[in-house]
Copies of this chain bind each other. A is one copy, B any other.
Amino acid sequence: MSAIRFEVLHVCKQSGARLGKLYTPHGVIETPIFMPVGTQATVKTLSPEELKEMNTQIILSNTYHLWLQPGDDIIKEAGGLHQFMRWDGPILTDSGGFQVFSLSKLRRITDEGVEFRHHKSGAKLFMTPEKAISIQNNLGSDIMMSFDECVELPADYNYVKESVERTLKWAERGLKVHKNTEKQALFGIVQGGDFEDLREYSAKKTVELDFPGYAIGGLSVGESKETMYRIIETTIPHLPTNKPRYLMGVGSADALIEGCIRGIDMFDCVLPTRIARHGTAMTSFGRVVIKNQQYERDFTPLDPECDCYTCRNYTKSYLRHLFKAEEMFGQRLLSYHNVYFLLKLMEQVRQAIKEDRLLSFRDEFFAKYGYDDPNNKRQF
């Protein structure tokens, strides 16, 4: 029996977006959902209690980072990742593939696996599909990901074709060594760059391997949003309707909504916490760069429509001061707000699906956010 179970509760008559429930060993998740990222066994600056308080249903953590520091053996000894970091809700771990390809230097890819250098120490390391599974087994995440090759775009057709074959072989090898299927569900990842035929091929072949869930990987890696949406549209029809679909590494407000409309159930991204640490807040009216002079004497909250801890208590003037003074509490308050903002957005999306009005919701949201203003498109 699989570790997870997925139910589609409703399909939005206006948009085709899905409302679902994903049952995991550590709790039930209402989908579509955004997963805050806790790369190194902590969602940067935030406590597990704060994540709970803002209704975080599941977090993502990174296999690559935890393998190198503190080491998956130590986390296993601690009783697994949930116990180690004191997060008792569901956890999804990625496969390390994305980091191996984006962070490490001097990598050499063979069918066997990837040889590469540690992104800090320069030490020689070797990652294989089997190793990625074994690390994730040690971490004990609820949802694991197959080891895949993530190709940066634009890329050569023949290279991507070869890479898709390799990722398929790696997926099969991962499935073979994953024994803990009753406690941990292993998802397959569709690749294929921005080539529609390769995406279709990758989707069909991955589905043949029969995973309990499927991810669309290798997007948000340099291509335009139009391309990203086109690739999602190409891929989705080849994924089973009764399994969860996860769009990896995507977390801007517009892409979350557009992804749901195209049938995605799960998202993750470091975006909200990363831009928060650099002083940018996501709000109902677009982004706020808190260090701007205009907020010096602005004694109103970050987002007047938000009821998060930060917005209920602090003014833009105070937040600006914290960033000008380089105080960590500012990064903490903005991280809180941004994660809250995306979780709340997904809650509104779920409600809109339930009421068959997701397209209308999108239009209202975009109008308020300033998305209609062509000069503001990068503000997402």
Residue in B74, B313, B318 whose CB lies within 8 Å of A317: B74
Residue in B77, B313, B325 whose CB lies within 8 Å of A299: B77
Query: Residues of B contacting A317 with CB < 8 Å?
Result: 70, 74, 78, 84
Query: Residues of B contacting A296 with CB < 8 Å?
Result: 70, 74
A324 at the binding interface (Cβ < 8 Å): yes
Q: How far is the CA of A325 from the CA of B61 in the complex (A)?
A: 14
Residue in B42, B77, B314, B327 whose CB lies within 8 Å of A327: B42
B329 touches A69 (CB 8 A): no
A331 at the binding interface (Cβ < 8 Å): yes
A45 at the binding interface (Cβ < 8 Å): yes
A297 at the binding interface (Cβ < 8 Å): yes
How distant is A149 from chain B, measured CB to nearest CB, in Å? 26
Query: Residues of B contacting A65 with CB < 8 Å?
Result: 325
A321 at the binding interface (Cβ < 8 Å): yes
B327 touches A70 (CB 8 A): no
Q: Given A65-B325, A86-B313, A324-B69, is A74 in contact with B297 using a C-beta cutoff of 8 Å?
A: yes
Additional A-B contacts beyond A40-B327, A41-B322, A74-B296 (5; CB < 8 A): A41-B318, A47-B332, A74-B321, A78-B299, A86-B313
Q: Which residue of B lies closest to A318 (CB)?
A: B84
Residue among A65, A313, A314, A325 with the most chain B CB within 10 A? A325
Query: Residues of B contacting A324 with CB < 8 Å?
Result: 69-70
A105 at the binding interface (Cβ < 8 Å): no
Query: How many A residues have CB within 8 A of the partner chain?
Result: 35
Q: Which residue of B lies closest to A327 (CB)?
A: B42
Q: How far is the CA of A315 from the CA of B85 in the complex (A)?
A: 9
Query: Residues of B contacting A327 with CB < 8 Å?
Result: 40, 42, 44
Q: Given A40-B321, A296-B70, is A329 in contact with B45 using a C-beta cutoff of 8 Å?
A: yes
320-374 of chain A: CB within 8 A of chain B: 320-322, 324-325, 327-332
How distant is A306 from chain B, measured CB to nearest CB, in Å? 16
A153 at the binding interface (Cβ < 8 Å): no
Q: How far is the CA of A327 from the CA of B297 in the complex (A)?
A: 31
Q: Which residue of B lies closest to A68 (CB)?
A: B325
A114 at the binding interface (Cβ < 8 Å): no
A46 at the binding interface (Cβ < 8 Å): yes
A86 touches B314 (CB 8 A): yes
Query: Residues of B contacting A42 with CB < 8 Å?
Result: 322, 327, 329-330
Q: Which residue of B lies closest to A313 (CB)?
A: B86
157-196 of chain A: CB within 8 A of chain B: none
Q: How far is the CA of A69 from the CA of B291 in the complex (A)?
A: 13
Contact with B along A289-326 (1 / 0, CB 8 A): 00000001101000000000000011101101110110
